Structure 1
Amino acid sequence: MGMDVPTKVIKLKLKFEVARDFGIPGALAVENKDKHEFFLKSARLRYINNPGILNYEYFRFYCGSWIYPISNTRIKRIFFSNQLCLPKKTPKGLEELRRKELEELRGGSKDERKPWDRTYEYGCYNDLGDPDNGRQHARPVLGGSPQFPYPRRLRTGRPPCHDDHLAESRPASCSRIYVPPDERLSHGKQEELKNNFVYALVRFLAQESTRPPLSNHECPDLVAKIAQLFSIEDSKFILSIVDFFRRKPKLPPNQDSSNNDLFGIEDLFADKEVKGLEDSVKQKLRKLVPVEIFDKVAATAAVKRQSVSSQPPSIITENQWAWTEDSEFGRQMLAGTNPVRIRRIMDDDPKLQGGELGELIEKKRSEKKGLFILEHHDYLEPFLKMINGNGVCAYATRTILQSGSTLDPIEPIAIELSLPDESDGSHDIRVFLPYDDLWELAKIHVACNDTAYHQLISHWLHTHAVVEPFIIATRRQLSVMHPIHRLLDPHFKDTLHVNALARAYFLNAGGILETTLFTGEYSMRLSSHLYKQWRFDEQALPADLIKRGMATPKEDEKMKEMPAEPESVKTDDVVESVERDENLTEEDVVELDNIPVTETQEQQPTFDAGVKLILEDYPYAKDGLEIWVVIETWVKDYCKLFYRGDPDVIQDTEIQEWWSEIRRVGHGDQDQGWYDINTVEDLVKALTTLIWTTSGLHAALNFGQYGYYGWPPNRPMLLRKFVPHEGTPEMDELDAQPDKFLAQMMPEKFQMAFVIAVMDVLSRHTSDEVYLGQASPGKVWETDEIKKKFEEFGEKLKQIERNIKKRNKEYGLLNRWGDAKIPYMLLYPDASNTIAARSKEDGKPEKMDINERGIPNSISI
């Protein structure tokens, strides 16, 4: 609403007189004659005296919508009752209203949209550039052309720029971005997100006060007095205990503590007092955030004796240097922020034959090793000449990884770095092996590439952007009376507004991603280039895993098995895994293949997705497939209540128009990967894919960002140095001062601190979140049959959470923890349970984090 006023709920009791034979009320017409809008939550009607209808029976209307003055809208609002029906079963008295309501939502006017408009039209991404602010801010239009294909977004109708009539002018402020009223973030959520961002920026960007650190200031005398009672060695031990409780990261045994803060950012996570922003920080920050955010950050940071503390990101909480381990690098490709890019190397891959890399692959094949590749080469190489320069240094990369069995840790065994051919025909292709002196630098370049792919493709394009046309088509073509509209509605909450904010401040010219990612101004062009490879039929999780060779259909008898699992687990590995969670005791942890079978276990449901994982210890896939199966079961059960057979699907005019519009318009630039929806099975497959994308997939890609990106050396967004060649001044510089070289290779401190703050905000669940398997507030399912199926859906999700927690305690599943000791919790279905509730459930507390837990229904952050 935009006004910071107290919220109050008003209940009105009204009486109407209708004809005795009026029948069952199916729609309400509401007219607001006041000068202010109001939010209508719900209504319910019942007859007081009608012998033909039970007097105690209520007819419910879930409205959940803003009602603007009739002087603005010129039309009354129509709300239909909660009873759902397919188009052909619409009561005669509602047929015309159902049709007119959809026509109203489709709009038609080309004028700029007003706050009270409820229109859903498609537009291209012509709002990312700002050519009126200079040629350097111009960006191509994405969507509507073979050169730059892209999903459509919600049209706003803002006037064109003066210097380029194909480009849409920029919004004046966050509050002026048009989205239909019912799609907007609530005022409370907007304030919560704003405050989260402000406090994160203060924590990580404000300069430290000259006062002692907060934790030392609170109890210096106590520590000193205790230390006086012991010898020097004992006092060191006491101080180490204090450090432990301050969550100070541990150093590896061979690390020199005198040079602990190699990257100059460890102090960002310390308890401290701050004293405002430095002028240089203010200048940089002003260009990246809205003015209302900047002003609040500056004011908050200037408060005298402002005390702040930060939770260190998970990747350094237990061991500051775990991210440097090869096994941790490999584990993050299966359980980190981007577990959807790795694929198995097939025998007939022509791009991996010949050359040094091809010879290595053939040798490993003869050893019957499981081989995988993380490829950031073919799509990136054409962009490198444009990207490199202005302090950015990037390669096209191929990384070969190996796993000895389905349960062995996966580790990189070779990295190929290449630059595009020069005009004289020379080219730079180098292969690095684990024991090479420059191996660590090569790994950092791979991590940087994977970071950009994650942000632009896996996260933004494959969830946020591709879902937007589905939302627009649903509002335009499926009546709120349609059962599929009701099924999908919780999974579209807030997405259109979140995407509009992303276009305004993250994806725009000079915005957050262009400033922090090495792809710079070419970021969205790269995203458009990779949209050409996107196919809807491959977004189903089982299909995606099969395409990447990470799973095979169970009926495939020709499946090539991985090498047999080792018969035993080394004792050292077992001890390491037990240390990963201080809340786990030895009896909590069980051997993978030695779990005692109990009667309860035998009765536990299984979730079979019809595929067999090549790597059994693939946390994202293992947990995700269980989530996928129960979503599919819920969707199937729901659809069967309305569609008695395939003819019902074919005759459903709204569904057919919905699907046709998605293919022809919303994703009109991509004609591959679509199938007809002529059967219940086809409909279930499409709906399951869509719900998985908005819930499980987005959760896996978003909520671990602070845990991994919060320590930029682990997932840098850009690098400022190439890997040096022998005999060059750069190599001499590396040999003379390796620490200095590595620090200069990373982004500058402001960029790293700003990224940490952004990741902190993106990884937090907001207080109004609704999680998978939970009903939206105020909305109830219309029949007992639907309620029962939805409750079964929720119970199965709770069972999956128990399954995940059990797997997170098993010795042999090393990819669930790794060297950094981070349990895989990104696909825990429900984050709303409190620590107390979880403690009561299994008898002990579980370590909580600001992120990494819970699957929201929708892409709402």
Structure 2
Amino acid sequence: MKHWKEDFMFGYQFLNGCNPVVIKKCTKIPEKFPVTDEMVNVSLEREMTLEEETEAGNIYIVDYEVLEGITANCTDPCTLQYIAAPMCLLYKNAQKKIMPIAIQLGQTPGEDNPIFLPTDAKYDWLLAKIWVRSADFQYHQNITHLLRTHLITEVFAIAMYRQLPAVHPVYKLLMPHIRFTIAINTKAREQLICECGIFDKANATGGGGHVQLIQKGVKSLTFRSLCFPDIIKARGLDNKEELPTYFYRDDGYMVWEATKSFVSDVVHIYYTSDETLQEDEEIQAFIKDVCSFGMQDFDHCEFPKSLKTREDLSEYLTAIVFTASAQHAAVNFGQYDWYSWIPNAPSTMRRPPPNKKGVADVNWIIHSLPDRGRSSWHLGAVWALSQYQECELYLGSYPDEHFTEKPVKEAMERFRKQLVEISLSIKTRNEGKKLPYYNMSPDKIPNSVAV
């Protein structure tokens, strides 16, 4: 609440906020976002041009193109609501902090779609940042959170129930990680994303826009995009030295590797060779069910229809476990921290994005932000979503003992020890920090998508 207007806080959230998955390295300024060196040179600190900074790897971008053309909520005919599809250019300064240096609120450049800059009047710049935060909220709730953790985990869960008997080792492995997921998704369909649900009451993408947005989001939902190291590398953010404060990445790597090590141990206990995996009709039916029924055989999804090696199976199951546990925790439990101060994450906007500079003032901003009623619905939702359950089971905790074999229990114990070490290293890293990052700490990662 005290720091939301600051450019540093705005930039920091792309790394360690609720939606740390959209920022990527900018290797070339897009033609649709015609930022010039003259516009931003006052923001650059290394006596280099914008082109040189880009070549040096110091420029990053977030682009909400997927929001273009989404129908804004009109469930309340008395209040018009608006959605923008902005782009934001970010700069890694000499202190390696990520700072916004240019914002365009639409996808098509032109006189009626100005590029806002930190050198503009303070309310013009602030309003532009608020619009980006609102777009980020829509992307986060619909794609990052709902689609890419809740709904995709349900796809795996349904296929598991349909194709794997309860005695199958993969059923036993996955069962703790799909616990309550179908139940919570059913509740979401009844209360959250249904007609007259909370999305309709509070969000600009309510009233059907959320369905359009998720349908568009599915087109970028490939199997490889569920593999944590792959997606970090694809966004050009895998070099720790370049972005030393990207804690979501650093902690995610550690949890991914620990999870993959455990899953691989289990896979190798039950499959003594790649041939035994290939001959397992039940596991192959499970893999095919996910692709053919869950993902509807979409050409772009690139989900495998069969698996030939134990290494492939280990990675596949790691993606499921990681998505349901660590990824969901990372994008869910920080919501009250980051979203309860409404101007930092407006769930809707009541005025269209400004089409020229010099119009914004305090009143313009107040009348753009959600009204009291929508803010209340939003606040209640993000509070509820951020709560841990009283009976929460955290990553590595398997009290139901689906496995009884000694080798698996030993693998579980190794996994737990690794997770404890990761939690301690994160705690040490966070000591003395004004902004500690705990969302990927294993002792705060529930086993499954259960809220």
Equivalent residue, structure 1, for 2:362: 739
Question: 1:651 and 2:279 equivalent?
Answer: yes
CA contact (8 A) 1:384 1:420 kept: no
CA contact (8 A) 2:26 2:61 kept: yes
Q: What SS does the corresponding residue of 1:665 show, helix, strand or coil?
A: helix
Q: What SS does the corresponding residue of 1:399 show, helix, strand or coil?
A: strand
User: C-alpha displacement at 1:338, in angstroms?
Assistant: 0.5
CA contact (8 A) 1:381 1:396 kept: yes
Equivalent residue, structure 2, for 1:677: 307
Q: Residues 101-500 of structure 1: matches in 2 within 5 Å? A: 320-347=1-28, 351-352=30-31, 355-356=34-35, 363-367=49-53, 368=56, 370-376=58-64, 378-383=65-70, 390-404=79-93, 408-418=96-106, 428-437=112-121, 438-500=124-186
Residues 687/725 of structure 1: CA separation in 2 closer, same or farther (3 Å cut): closer
Equivalent position amino acid for 2:90 in 1: L
Question: Which of these residues, 420, 423, 426, is aligned with residue 801 of structure 1?
Answer: 423
Q: Provide the rounded CA distance (Å) in 1 between the counterparts of 2:6 and 2:389.
A: 34
Q: Residues 785-800 of structure 1: matches in 2 within 5 Å? A: 785-800=407-422
Question: Which of these residues, 279, 285, 289, is aligned with residue 661 of structure 1?
Answer: 289
Q: Provide the rounded CA distance (Å) in 2 between the counterparts of 1:780 and 1:660.
A: 24
User: C-alpha displacement at 1:725, in angstroms?
Assistant: 5.6
User: C-alpha displacement at 1:548, in angstroms?
Assistant: 1.2
User: C-alpha displacement at 1:829, in angstroms?
Assistant: 1.2
Encode CA deviations 1:475-515: one digit per residue, 9 max, x unaligned.
Answer: 11111111111000000100001001111111112211122
Question: 1:542 and 2:229 equivalent?
Answer: yes
CA contact (8 A) 2:68 2:107 kept: yes
User: C-alpha displacement at 1:414, in angstroms?
Assistant: 0.8
Q: What SS does the corresponding residue of 1:400 show, helix, strand or coil?
A: strand
Encode CA deviations 1:28-52: one digit per residue, 9 max, x unaligned.
Answer: xxxxxxxxxxxxxxxxxxxxxxxxx
Equivalent residue, structure 2, for 1:691: 321
User: C-alpha displacement at 1:518, in angstroms?
Assistant: 1.2
Equivalent residue, structure 2, for 1:704: 334
Larger mean Cα displacement after TM superposition, 484-493 or 464-473: 464-473
CA contact (8 A) 1:384 1:395 kept: no
Encode CA deviations 1:357-379: one digit per residue, 9 max, x unaligned.
Answer: 58768932314461111111x22
Structure 2 length-normalised TM: 0.90
Equivalent position amino acid for 1:474 in 2: M
- Of all paired residues, the percent bearing the same amino acid is 32
User: C-alpha displacement at 1:754, in angstroms?
Assistant: 2.1
Q: Provide the rounded CA distance (Å) in 1 between the counterparts of 2:172 and 2:38.
A: 55
Equivalent position amino acid for 2:101 in 1: I
Q: Provide the rounded CA distance (Å) in 1 between the counterparts of 2:356 and 2:17.
A: 34
Q: Provide the rounded CA distance (Å) in 1 between the counterparts of 2:357 and 2:447.
A: 56
Q: What SS does the corresponding residue of 2:212 show, helix, strand or coil?
A: helix
Q: Residues 581-620 of structure 1: matches in 2 within 5 Å? A: 614-620=242-248
Encode CA deviations 1:38-97: one digit per residue, 9 max, x unaligned.
Answer: xxxxxxxxxxxxxxxxxxxxxxxxxxxxxxxxxxxxxxxxxxxxxxxxxxxxxxxxxxxx
Equivalent residue, structure 2, for 1:759: 382
Structure 1 segments unaligned to the other structure (5+ residues): 1-319, 553-611, 811-816, 831-853
CA contact (8 A) 1:703 1:763 kept: yes
CA contact (8 A) 2:172 2:402 kept: no
User: C-alpha displacement at 1:739, in angstroms?
Assistant: 3.2
Q: Provide the rounded CA distance (Å) in 1 between the counterparts of 2:357 and 2:249.
A: 45
Q: Provide the rounded CA distance (Å) in 2 between the counterparts of 1:660 and 1:687.
A: 14
Question: Which of these residues, 774, 780, 789, is aligned with residue 397 of structure 2?
Answer: 774
User: C-alpha displacement at 1:713, in angstroms?
Assistant: 1.1
Residues 360/646 of structure 1: CA separation in 2 closer, same or farther (3 Å cut): farther
Q: What SS does the corresponding residue of 2:35 show, helix, strand or coil?
A: helix
Higher relative contact order (CA 8 A, sep 6+): 2
Q: Cα RMSD over matched residues?
A: 2.4
Encode CA deviations 1:711-739: one digit per residue, 9 max, x unaligned.
Answer: 111111111124546698xx3xx5xxx33
Equivalent residue, structure 2, for 1:524: 211
Larger mean Cα displacement after TM superposition, 697-706 or 663-672: 663-672
Q: What SS does the corresponding residue of 1:355 show, helix, strand or coil?
A: coil
Q: Provide the rounded CA distance (Å) in 2 between the counterparts of 1:793 and 1:727.
A: 55
Q: What SS does the corresponding residue of 1:685 show, helix, strand or coil?
A: helix
Q: What SS does the corresponding residue of 2:210 show, helix, strand or coil?
A: helix
Q: Residues 571-586 of structure 1: matches in 2 within 5 Å? A: none
Q: What SS does the corresponding residue of 1:383 show, helix, strand or coil?
A: coil
Q: Residues 632-643 of structure 1: matches in 2 within 5 Å? A: 632-643=260-271
Equivalent residue, structure 2, for 1:623: 251
Equivalent residue, structure 1, for 2:43: none
Q: How many residues matched?
A: 435
Encode CA deviations 1:535-559: one digit per residue, 9 max, x unaligned.
Answer: 012211001101111126xxxxxxx
Residues 481/725 of structure 1: CA separation in 2 closer, same or farther (3 Å cut): closer
CA contact (8 A) 2:199 2:206 kept: yes
Q: What SS does the corresponding residue of 1:775 show, helix, strand or coil?
A: coil
Residues 464/386 of structure 1: CA separation in 2 closer, same or farther (3 Å cut): closer
Question: 1:719 and 2:371 equivalent?
Answer: no
Equivalent residue, structure 2, for 1:10: none
Question: 1:783 and 2:389 equivalent?
Answer: no
User: C-alpha displacement at 1:791, in angstroms?
Assistant: 0.6
Residues 358/456 of structure 1: CA separation in 2 closer, same or farther (3 Å cut): farther
Equivalent position amino acid for 2:303 in 1: W
Q: Provide the rounded CA distance (Å) in 2 between the counterparts of 1:632 and 1:360.
A: 46
Q: Provide the rounded CA distance (Å) in 1 between the counterparts of 2:168 and 2:241.
A: 37
Q: What SS does the corresponding residue of 2:230 show, helix, strand or coil?
A: helix
Encode CA deviations 1:81-126: one digit per residue, 9 max, x unaligned.
Answer: xxxxxxxxxxxxxxxxxxxxxxxxxxxxxxxxxxxxxxxxxxxxxx
Equivalent residue, structure 2, for 1:26: none
Residues 353/447 of structure 1: CA separation in 2 closer, same or farther (3 Å cut): closer
Q: What SS does the corresponding residue of 1:445 show, helix, strand or coil?
A: helix
Equivalent position amino acid for 1:355 in 2: P
Q: Provide the rounded CA distance (Å) in 1 between the counterparts of 2:158 and 2:357.
A: 58
Question: Which of these residues, 514, 519, 525, is aligned with residue 200 of structure 2?
Answer: 514
Structure 2 segments unaligned to the other structure (5+ residues): 41-47
Q: Provide the rounded CA distance (Å) in 1 between the counterparts of 2:33 and 2:342.
A: 35
More helix by percentage: 2
Equivalent position amino acid for 2:367 in 1: Q
CA contact (8 A) 1:419 1:428 kept: no
Structure 1 length-normalised TM: 0.48
Q: What SS does the corresponding residue of 2:343 show, helix, strand or coil?
A: coil
Residues 678/413 of structure 1: CA separation in 2 closer, same or farther (3 Å cut): same
Residues 695/660 of structure 1: CA separation in 2 closer, same or farther (3 Å cut): same
Q: Residues 87-102 of structure 1: matches in 2 within 5 Å? A: none
Encode CA deviations 1:809-848: one digit per residue, 9 max, x unaligned.
Answer: 37xxxxxx5xxx3311111211xxxxxxxxxxxxxxxxxx
Residues 685/530 of structure 1: CA separation in 2 closer, same or farther (3 Å cut): same
Residues 360/644 of structure 1: CA separation in 2 closer, same or farther (3 Å cut): farther
Residues 436/779 of structure 1: CA separation in 2 closer, same or farther (3 Å cut): same
User: C-alpha displacement at 1:780, in angstroms?
Assistant: 5.8
Asked which structure has the greater CA Rg, the reply is 1
